[in-house]
Each structure stands twice: as C-alpha cells, then as structure tokens.
Chains A and B, each alone.
Chain A
Amino acid sequence: MSATLIRENVAAAKPPRKTGSLLVVPSVVVLLLWMIVPLVMTLWFSFQYYNLVNPEVSGFAGRDNYEFLVTDPDFWVSLRNTMTLLISVLVITVGLGTLLAVLFDQPFPGQKIARVLAISPFFVMPTVSALIWKNLLMHPIYGVLGAVALAFGLQPVDWFASYPLAAVIAIVSWEWLPFALLILLTAVQSLDHEQREAARMDGAGVVAQFFFITLPHLSRAISVVVMIETIFLLTVFAEIFVTTSGGPGNATTNLAFLIYARALLQYDVGGASAGGVVAIILANIVAYFLVRSIARRLEV
C-alpha cells in the first residue's frame, strides 16, 4: 500500500510525459514499418513456395527453401567469396591506407593536390568505376594494363577470366582506399607532435615511432574504418554485376549477388528470401563481434 502511494507521488511529481511520447509516435511508427515490414515479409516468403515462373506451386514450404539453399554448392561458394572479398579488401585498404596516411602527413610540394587526387576515387559511383576498370584498365585488348604488359613483351592478362575474384577485390579496394585514407589521415594529423619528439628523445627511430607511437594512436580510427567498411563490403553488388555477373561460373558470386540471381534471374522468391535471412544472420554475427571488440577499443 505504502509502496503504491510512493510510486504515485513520484509519478505526480514529474510533469506528464504523455505528450512527449505522443509526439515521437509518428517517427517511431515509420521507422518500425520501414524495418519490420521487409523483415517480416522476407521471413514469410522464405517459408513459402513462391516462384514467379510457376504460380501454380504455392503454399507453405516448411524448411524446403532453406534445405535447398544449404545443399546448393553455390551457396557455400558465395559465402566463401563474401568473406574472401571482405577480408582482402579490409587488409588492403587498412594496410595501404595507414602507410599512405603517414606518407601524406609529411610535408611535400603539391601536398594538397595530391590529397584531393588520392581521395577522389571515393566520389566515383561504383558502377562507373567498375566499368572503367573493366573496359579501360583491365581489358586484355583495350586496357591500359594489357598495353603495359605488351610494352614489356608480356602476354596481356584477361583479368576477369583468369583472376576474377582478385580483379573484383582490386576494384573494391580502389574504391574504399580513399575512405580509409581520409579517416586515418585525420587521425595521424591529430597525433601530438610532442609525443613523437619525446619518442625521438627516447631513442625511437622512424620505424619504432611508427609501431610504438603512430600505430597505437591509430588503433581507434582503424576500428572505425573496419566497422564501416564491413557493413558496406558484406553487400558489394554493383561492381560484380557490372564486371563479371558473378562468373565465370560462380567464381565471383557473393551472397548479395546470389540472392539477386535467385530472385530476379531464376524468379525463385522463396529461395532468395531464405538467402536473405541467412545474410541477415551473417551480418548480425559479424556485427556482434565487431561491436564488442570495437566498444572495448573505444573505451581505452
């Protein structure tokens, strides 16, 4: 009885919160619909027979769509491709980005122009940059790389036929390197120069300064780059669609492209939805580990 009284008193002491809650309702509703409707529909379709080519087959499918998915060798290849693409691009962009950031931090003539040029690939649309790489750079007949190879008396390489996944990784890395460079360069610039001088007084050479002072200072920025890039790299699509269309065979099919192929090339909405659910689960697993490790890093 007394407890209720106290609670009522507390409630009475505070201003009424009803109006506030009412006012946020519209945006909350929109956000919920935005997120929940596609999610629920994907889940729903993933348990349905739903093929646009054959409308006769319909109804509840049980686990059939999922079984079909996991027994499909393409699925496992696409998972492996997704992870290979993700990890390779992360290693390349963070590694090169860190080195370039340290380099661009040094004063040299034309530094500002060089910085703008280094960052500009980020502003090019993925489809456009993929087309440029495919037709102007990596094409064995018309491409620059082919011409260079010929100039050295070598046989031009048909990149998208011989090393398709590596070619896609190169394109995506080229697109994301500027982003990593931008974030890491600002982080390098925020390093207290007295810290570096103190390290010099302590006897640290250039290499020791990089590993003991610069790299630890960058660890937070690197975490941010890894997190943001991971989110986008799990769903790389345009570059693959434009260059290889997932081929040759399934060599460059990642999960996003597999889902697209299921839904819009094979018209199997049920199967594609099952793939989509797997992608959601995969993204959440990655996000869980990522957020946990980065949250710890950010505390330090």
Chain B
Amino acid sequence: MATLTLRDLRKSYGPAHVIKGIDLDVLEREFVVFVGPSGCGKSTLLRMIAGLEDITSGELQIDGRRVNDVGPADRGLAMVFQSYALYPHMTVRQNMGFALRLARVPKAERDRKVNEAARILQLEPYLERRPKDLSGGQRQRVAIGRSIVRDPKVFLFDEPLSNLDAALRGQMRMELLRLHEDLNATMIYVTHDQVEAMTMADKIVVLQAGLVEQVGSPLELYHHPTNLFVAGFIGSPRMNLMPARVVEVTGSGVTVALPSGGQVTVPTSASGVRQGDTITLGVRPEGLHVDSAGQIAGEVKLVERLGGLTLLHVTSGVDLALTVQIEGSDATRAHETVHLSIDTAACHLFDKAGLALPRLVRHPMAA
C-alpha cells in the first residue's frame, strides 16, 4: 500500500491550462474522491496520476519516489475505466490475467491470482465467458478484477459506476467499500456524483476549473464549506443562498438583515466584513423550518414527496427560491403560504469574494 503526493501539478494543452497547480497528499489506505462538475479536470488529473497523460510541470510522487517520467505500467497503479475497457475477444479469465501474461508470470501463479480475484468478486461461474455475455455489473466486476490481480499500490477509478442503473450503482457502491476494507488498498476515485463522493470517501477533493476548491472529509465539506462553490456543489438538494446585509458585528456572530425583512445572528467570525456590507447567507434545506412565527413568508410552488421526507419549493418575495426539507408526515400543500424560520446554527455566511466566514463552533461530526 502506498502514499501519493502531488506537488504543484500542472497540465496544459498548448495555451490551454487544464490543471493549474494542484497540491495533495493521499495517505495510506485512504479512499480519496475527486469530485467536480464536468470539465473541471478531475479525469485529467487521474490520468496524469495513471501516467496516461504527461505532466507539464510539478511533481508526482508515489511512496516518496518521483514518478513523473515512469511509464503507466511501471507506476504500480491499476485503473478501472468508465467504459470498463474490457478486451472483447478475450474471456474473463484472459482479461483478468492479461497484465500477468505480459509480465511473463508463470501460468500456475497467474491462474491462482485470477481465481483468487474471481472468488473475491464472485465471478467464478463466468471465468470462461466473454465480456459481451456479461451484464453491466459483472463487466464492472471484471474490470475491478483486472486491477486486483496486479496487486497495485493504488487503485484508480474513473467514474466507474456512471454506466450502471441506479439500483446497481447503489449495490456496487457498497461492494467497492467492502473491497476497500478487504484489500486495505489506497484508492482514488473520480466522480461527478456528489452522492458517491459523500458516501464513499475518506477524503473528498472538490475541483473546479483545474484548481482544488477544498479538501476534507465528507461532513467537513458539508458543514464547513470554505466557499460558495463547495457549499453549492456538496449537498443534495442544494444549499439555499440569499443576499443579505450586515447589520451588526459582534464577538458572538454577525447579524444580517434578510431580504424579506427580519434579522438573524449567525455565529461566525467577522473577519473582514463591516456593517452595511452585502453578504450571502447560505442555509441548507434542513435548516429551514415551517413555523408560523418564522421571519420569511413565501408561497409553496411545488411539493416533492419522497416518502420519509418532503421537499417544499417556496418562492419568497419576487424571485427568492428556497428549498425546504420537512418531515414526510407534514401536510403542507402546494400554493399555500408558509412562514419559515431559520436555524441559525446551520447558517453560513459568504463574503463578496464568495469565501465563507469561519464558523465559531465546529460541527461535532466534522472534527
């Protein structure tokens, strides 16, 4: 198992800078997820780590050794591709044993390793089949098996679940986590799906436009986003954002005036904001409550009932759209007028540059 170190890693295609200087440490046995919108450079970064893309500048180390100029096969990594990239003319056994065959591993040992991987992945009945005779989930497992037999230092996954249907995706998520535990492996996983990132990662790296926006544990990102982008990207449904004006700054928080009237005091440090500044108030859907004494009045435009939970889409004032998460048993209906109160402990403030004001109290789950 291995550690991975990225130091000011950059990638340009001619004048186009795709990766603009990334520093990152991946610890041993860590499950790291790169997440970001499409085009943010997360796949390129993974392919640079894999050795499939050249590194323009910066340094990539595996176990402390610089590997910038080492070929993809010699870095000791294995990659699972989005399309699985199975070799269609080979059986499952041949697919999984291909790397070993190229490395001239004796047949007996090759078979032993392939059988072992097939056992871990429950692929034993399918070893003599070809990829086209397998289901999507089985193909996915073969692609993972092809990585396992190489006994790599680091597993790389490039959006491996995006070709599966929703039910299978949930199941494969569990299997990958189990595999991570069983193999004690370092894994780097690329996805655009923040649910996958939240549920699987030890450490999430949020990328945008070739830069790291924030690195942290899933709940750290959820409860302490450092900027507007991370706040909006992590969490589903998205955080509600509304413009507000700073009324008072004290040691115990910042008091802001809401556009709909009323004030809330948010327990954040007041670094750099002054009375009268405009500021963005962020509050997650579960931080808003239907409350007849609430400060925000609005009309329920749409109700999404998920069973256990219900989402209300409320419009307050002219064009302030808010999402509110309430109990599934709540009887609020569309086109009713509701009042909403804000849970100040769940609020975030972002200054003009989009940076979060640090909160005074750390969330217990995001130590």
Chain A interface residues (CB < 8 Å from chain B): 192, 194-195, 197-204, 208, 212-213, 216-217, 219, 300
Contacts and interface: CB of A to CB of B under 8 A. Distances in A.
Interface string B58-79: 0000000000000111100111
B195 interface: no
B146 A202 contact: yes
B81 A202 contact: no
Interface residues of B, number: 25
Contacts of B50: 201
B126 interface: no
Given A203-B99, A203-B102, A197 B87 contact: no
For the residues of A in contact with B, the DSSP-based class is: helix
Nearest to B98: A202
Interface string B80-95: 0111011111000000
B82 A194 contact: yes
Contacts of A212: 87, 98
The 3 closest A-B pairs by CB, nearest first: A203-B73, A202-B99, A198-B85
A300 B91 CA distance: 12
A200 B86 CA distance: 13
A219 B99 CA distance: 22
B87 A200 contact: no
A198 B79 contact: yes
Contact of A213 (B52, B83, B87, B130): B87
Interface of B: 50-52, 71-74, 77-79, 81-83, 85-89, 98-99, 102-103, 130, 146, 150
Contacts of A200: 51-52, 71-73
Given A200-B73, A203-B102, 14 more contacts: A194-B83, A198-B79, A200-B52, A201-B77, A201-B79, A202-B73, A202-B99, A202-B102, A203-B73, A212-B98, A216-B87, A216-B88, A217-B89, A300-B130
Contacts of B88: 216-217
A212 to B, nearest CB: 7
A201 B46 CA distance: 13
Contacts of B72: 197, 200-201
B73 A201 contact: yes
Contact of A194 (B81, B99, B150): B81
Contact of B89 (A197, A202, A204, A300): A300
Given A201-B78, A202-B146, A195 B87 contact: yes
A216 B103 contact: no
Contacts of B89: 216-217, 219, 300
B87 A194 contact: no
Given A203-B102, A217-B89, A300-B89, A197 B81 contact: yes
A200 B53 CA distance: 12
A192 B102 contact: no
A217 B150 CA distance: 24
B102 A204 contact: yes
Contacts of A199: 87, 98
22 contacts: A195-B85, A197-B52, A198-B79, A198-B81, A198-B86, A198-B87, A200-B51, A200-B72, A200-B73, A201-B51, A201-B72, A201-B73, A201-B78, A201-B99, A202-B98, A202-B102, A203-B74, A203-B99, A208-B102, A212-B98, A217-B88, A300-B130
A284 B40 CA distance: 59
Nearest to A202: B99
Contacts of B79: 197-198, 201
Contacts of B74: 203
Nearest to B99: A202
Contact of A192 (B71, B78, B83, B103): B83
Given A216-B89, A300-B89, A203 B83 contact: no
A206 to B, nearest CB: 12
Contacts of A219: 89
A86 to B, nearest CB: 27
Contacts of A213: 87
B52 A203 contact: no
Nearest to A195: B85
Contacts of B102: 202-204, 208
Most buried by A among B50, B87, B88: B87
Contacts of B51: 200-201
A197 to B, nearest CB: 5
A216 B86 CA distance: 13
A199 B99 CA distance: 8
B163 to A, nearest CB: 12
A204 B85 CA distance: 14
A102 B89 CA distance: 19
Contacts of A300: 89, 130
